Structure 1
Amino acid sequence: MLKLILAFALDRLKERSTWLGVIGLATAAGVGLTPDQAAAIATGGAAVASAVAAFTPDSSSKKD
Protein backbone atom coordinates (compact mmCIF):
# COMPACT_ATOMS: atom_id res chain seq x y z
CA MET A 1 0.00 0.00 0.00
CA LEU A 2 2.85 2.39 0.84
CA LYS A 3 4.41 1.75 -2.57
CA LEU A 4 1.15 2.66 -4.28
CA ILE A 5 0.90 5.91 -2.32
CA LEU A 6 4.53 6.77 -3.08
CA ALA A 7 4.06 6.00 -6.77
CA PHE A 8 0.91 8.13 -6.87
CA ALA A 9 2.64 11.03 -5.11
CA LEU A 10 5.68 10.85 -7.40
CA ASP A 11 3.46 10.80 -10.46
CA ARG A 12 1.63 13.90 -9.24
CA LEU A 13 4.91 15.71 -8.48
CA LYS A 14 5.93 15.26 -12.10
CA GLU A 15 2.87 17.15 -13.31
CA ARG A 16 2.94 20.86 -14.03
CA SER A 17 -0.60 21.30 -12.71
CA THR A 18 0.42 20.01 -9.27
CA TRP A 19 3.11 22.65 -8.92
CA LEU A 20 0.80 25.37 -10.22
CA GLY A 21 -1.75 24.34 -7.60
CA VAL A 22 0.83 24.33 -4.81
CA ILE A 23 2.09 27.75 -5.85
CA GLY A 24 -1.47 29.04 -6.10
CA LEU A 25 -2.32 27.80 -2.61
CA ALA A 26 0.88 29.28 -1.19
CA THR A 27 0.16 32.60 -2.87
CA ALA A 28 -3.41 32.61 -1.56
CA ALA A 29 -2.04 31.94 1.92
CA GLY A 30 0.11 35.06 1.62
CA VAL A 31 3.49 33.48 0.98
CA GLY A 32 5.62 35.81 -1.10
CA LEU A 33 8.89 34.79 -2.71
CA THR A 34 11.67 36.70 -4.34
CA PRO A 35 12.79 35.42 -7.74
CA ASP A 36 15.96 34.05 -6.12
CA GLN A 37 13.93 32.13 -3.54
CA ALA A 38 11.65 30.72 -6.23
CA ALA A 39 14.66 29.58 -8.26
CA ALA A 40 16.24 27.94 -5.20
CA ILE A 41 13.02 26.11 -4.37
CA ALA A 42 12.59 24.93 -7.96
CA THR A 43 16.18 23.70 -8.08
CA GLY A 44 15.80 21.91 -4.75
CA GLY A 45 12.53 20.34 -5.83
CA ALA A 46 14.07 19.10 -9.05
CA ALA A 47 17.02 17.65 -7.13
CA VAL A 48 14.76 15.82 -4.67
CA ALA A 49 12.49 14.48 -7.42
CA SER A 50 15.52 13.31 -9.39
CA ALA A 51 17.05 11.59 -6.36
CA VAL A 52 13.80 9.79 -5.57
CA ALA A 53 13.40 8.74 -9.20
CA ALA A 54 16.99 7.49 -9.32
CA PHE A 55 16.63 5.30 -6.24
CA THR A 56 13.15 3.88 -6.75
CA PRO A 57 12.66 0.95 -9.10
CA ASP A 58 10.49 1.20 -12.18
CA SER A 59 7.28 -0.79 -11.93
CA SER A 60 8.38 -2.84 -14.95
CA SER A 61 11.57 -3.95 -13.19
CA LYS A 62 9.78 -5.89 -10.44
CA LYS A 63 10.88 -9.48 -10.08
CA ASP A 64 8.19 -12.14 -9.90
Structure 2
Amino acid sequence: MSEESLMSPKARDYLLARLQEPTTWRGIATLLTAFGVALSPEQAEAIIPLGMAVAGFIGILTKG
Protein backbone atom coordinates (compact mmCIF):
# COMPACT_ATOMS: atom_id res chain seq x y z
CA MET A 1 0.00 0.00 0.00
CA SER A 2 1.48 3.33 -1.00
CA GLU A 3 1.70 6.39 1.22
CA GLU A 4 -0.74 8.29 -1.00
CA SER A 5 -3.45 5.72 -0.41
CA LEU A 6 -3.10 6.01 3.37
CA MET A 7 -3.63 9.77 3.60
CA SER A 8 -4.18 12.52 1.08
CA PRO A 9 -1.44 15.15 0.80
CA LYS A 10 -3.90 17.83 1.96
CA ALA A 11 -4.84 15.83 5.07
CA ARG A 12 -1.16 15.08 5.79
CA ASP A 13 -0.24 18.76 5.52
CA TYR A 14 -3.10 19.71 7.84
CA LEU A 15 -2.09 17.10 10.41
CA LEU A 16 1.57 18.13 10.31
CA ALA A 17 0.61 21.79 10.72
CA ARG A 18 -1.46 20.95 13.82
CA LEU A 19 1.35 18.82 15.26
CA GLN A 20 3.72 21.78 15.03
CA GLU A 21 1.54 23.88 17.36
CA PRO A 22 2.34 23.93 21.09
CA THR A 23 -1.36 23.86 21.99
CA THR A 24 -1.77 20.49 20.26
CA TRP A 25 0.94 18.98 22.45
CA ARG A 26 -0.51 20.59 25.59
CA GLY A 27 -3.81 18.98 24.68
CA ILE A 28 -2.14 15.60 24.19
CA ALA A 29 -0.46 15.91 27.59
CA THR A 30 -3.81 16.83 29.14
CA LEU A 31 -5.51 13.82 27.53
CA LEU A 32 -2.75 11.51 28.78
CA THR A 33 -3.26 12.86 32.28
CA ALA A 34 -7.04 12.39 31.97
CA PHE A 35 -6.48 8.74 31.05
CA GLY A 36 -4.38 8.16 34.14
CA VAL A 37 -0.85 8.80 32.90
CA ALA A 38 0.89 10.73 35.66
CA LEU A 39 2.79 13.71 34.23
CA SER A 40 4.45 16.40 36.26
CA PRO A 41 4.20 19.94 34.89
CA GLU A 42 7.89 19.69 33.94
CA GLN A 43 7.27 16.50 31.95
CA ALA A 44 4.29 18.04 30.19
CA GLU A 45 6.35 21.09 29.23
CA ALA A 46 9.15 18.83 27.95
CA ILE A 47 6.71 17.01 25.66
CA ILE A 48 5.81 20.19 23.76
CA PRO A 49 9.18 20.98 22.12
CA LEU A 50 9.92 17.29 21.60
CA GLY A 51 6.60 16.72 19.86
CA MET A 52 7.06 19.81 17.70
CA ALA A 53 10.55 18.63 16.73
CA VAL A 54 9.26 15.20 15.74
CA ALA A 55 6.44 16.75 13.70
CA GLY A 56 8.92 19.07 11.98
CA PHE A 57 11.22 16.17 11.17
CA ILE A 58 8.32 14.16 9.72
CA GLY A 59 7.33 17.22 7.70
CA ILE A 60 10.83 17.50 6.27
CA LEU A 61 10.84 13.84 5.27
CA THR A 62 7.38 13.84 3.68
CA LYS A 63 7.37 17.18 1.83
CA GLY A 64 8.00 16.81 -1.80
Q: TM-score, normalised by structure 1?
A: 0.60
Matches of residues 15-26 of structure 1 in structure 2 within 5 Å?
A: 15-26=21-32
**Mapped partners of 1:38, 1:20: distance in 2:** 7
- Percent of aligned positions that are identical: 42
Cα separation, partners in 2 of 1:14 and 1:25, compared to 1, 3 Å = same
Structure showing greater relative contact order (alpha-carbon pairs closer than 8 Å, 6 or more residues apart): 2
Matches of residues 1-64 of structure 1 in structure 2 within 5 Å?
A: 2-33=8-39, 45-57=51-63
Cα RMSD after superposing both structures: 2.7
**Mapped partners of 2:46, 2:17: distance in 1:** 22
Structure 2 residue ranges without an equivalent (≥5): 1-6
Between Structure 1 and Structure 2, how many residues are aligned? 58
Q: Structure 1 runs of 4+ off > 6 angstroms?
A: 37-40
Cα separation, partners in 2 of 1:43 and 1:11, compared to 1, 3 Å = closer
Higher radius of gyration, 1 or 2: 1
